[in-house]
Structure formats: structure tokens, C-alpha cells
Amino acid sequence: MSNTQDKVVIITGASSGIGETTAKELASKGAKLVLAARREDRLKKLQEEIQNNGGEAIYKVTDVTSHEQMEELAEYALKEFGKIDVMVNNAGLMPLSPLHEKKINEWDTMIDVNIKGVLYGIGAVLPSMRERKEGHIINVSSVAGHEVMSASAVYSGTKFAVRAISEGLRKEELGNNIRTTIISPGVVATDLPETISGSELKSAIDDFYKIAIEPNSIARAIAFAIEQPSDVGINEMIIRPTQQEL
């Protein structure tokens, strides 16, 4: 039996990309999924697909920038399944732009989703994990959380923050047997670049994304981290296309 069998896993940003493929991967291994995102039509479609393939999934429309909604998401998971084994903080945005353009709204949105959303997810699940003295929190960062590129200053800042928060969490909760994993994807074929508002930069990023790997490559990495015995922590993984230099 897989170590993933019957584990209750919450996934934010589950309506597309890495979140969607991770849900399918974990469902195939017997996990019980709690799907969260803002787009209900996509959540419902994913739930139905998982159920039609013999898996188990529920969903809750959730905005990760709302502390209250994230608390409600955790409460829903506990009500339906009685426990939370894994939290995958996957929701994120990447509206890249040079700092001189002063796209304040985009900066604020990235901070709210990429940093606060992760914090709210951690805060929502920690009480029950600490009570049980077990759990696993997986935070999706990026290679941009390791290296800063032109036009990525704010985005990279948020992803560096995810790594710092995750490492702090690891040190604080290791005595409670709560594992942490940082997943840092490189170029992955998702709709992440669609949030870039500058047409010239968007065109350059689209060209760069021609080497993108499929999101199921990241899903397999997440599954690998979850499958390890409880005394083994896979603390960080970087998964890039072979041809990606940065």
C-alpha cells in the first residue's frame, strides 16, 4: 500500500496547472483530495474526473488572500475527513514587470497571493497538525526564489519569502513531526505567464516557455515527497527543464 493511501490532502490553486495535475496524481495513489481555487466550474469538473476514475475528492471555492476563507477550508476538510495530513500551498501569480513601471496593483496582488496565501494556508492547518503531532506542509516556490532576473524583482521577492517561511516552519515544527517541503519549479507549461500585462515582456516570456516541461513532472515530485516514511523529510526540490539555464 502506498504511503499516500487515505491521506487527506488540501491543494490550493487546484483548478489548473500544477494544482490540477497534482490532484490527479495523488488521487491515483489513493489520497483523499480537498480541492481549493476560485473557479468553481473547473473545481467541479476536476472533482467529477477524479471520482469517475475511482478517486475521492471534494472541493470548496476559496480565495487564498482571505484568512477567513482559508480557515473555513481547513475546517471543511476536518469536518468531511476528520484530519488533514498534507497541505499543498500551490496558488500563485506571476505578473512580471520592471520596477520603474510601478505596477503597484500587481505588486500588491503577488504579495497577497504568493506570500499571505501561503501564510494563511500554514496557519489554517497547523493547529490540527500540532494536535496530532504529524503532518506535511508543501509550499510551491520557484527557481525565481533562488535567482533574480530582470523584471522578476517582486515575483522573486515573494518566492524567496516562501522559501524563508518554509525553512522557519521546518525548524519550529520538527519537534511536532510536521514535515515541510519547498518545491521550486522551473519553466512549466501552465497559464502562469498569462498574468503578465506588458505585451513585449509577455512575448519574450512566451518564447522562453517553449522549453517548458509538463506540470505532471512537478506533480510526481510532490507525490514523491509525500510518499516518504514519516521520519524522512524531503525539504526542497528544484525541478527544471533539462535545457533551462537559469
The answer to whether 114 touches 134, Cβ cutoff 8 Å, is: no
Average pLDDT over residues 51-56: 98
**Position 245 in a domain:** no
**Position 142 in a domain:** yes
Per the annotation, the verdict on 155 as an active-site residue is: yes
pLDDT for residue 198? 87
Q: How far apart are CA 103 and CA 144, in angstroms?
A: 19
**Position 44 in a domain:** yes
Average pLDDT over residues 69-85: 98
pLDDT reading at 87 higher than 70: yes
pLDDT for residue 164? 98
Q: How far apart are CA 57 and CA 7, in angstroms?
A: 12
**Position 147 in a domain:** yes
User: pLDDT (tens digit, 9 = 90+) per residue, 112-138?
Assistant: 999 999 999 999 999 999 999 999 999
pLDDT for residue 1? 53
pLDDT reading at 214 higher than 90: yes
Helix (H, G, I), strand (E, B) or coil at 127: helix
Give CA 210 to chain center in angstroms.
23
> Does pTM top 0.75 for this prediction?
yes
**Position 128 in a domain:** yes
User: pLDDT (tens digit, 9 = 90+) per residue, 163-179?
Assistant: 999 999 999 999 999 99
Q: Domain count of the chain?
A: 1
**Catalytic residue of the set 59, 76, 120, 155:** 155
Task: For residue 72, give the CATH number of its domain.
Answer: 3.40.50.720
93's CB contacts (< 8 A; 6+ apart) are 109, 110, 113, 114, 192, 195
**Position 246 in a domain:** no
Average pLDDT over residues 98-110: 97
Overall residue count recorded for the chain in this entry: 246
Give CA 153 to chain center in angstroms.
20
pLDDT for residue 194? 87
Average pLDDT over residues 85-107: 97
Rg (CA), the chain: 17
Give the residue numbers spanning the domain of 190: 8-236
Burial of residue 92 (number of CB atoms within 10 Å: 0-12, 13-18, 19+): buried
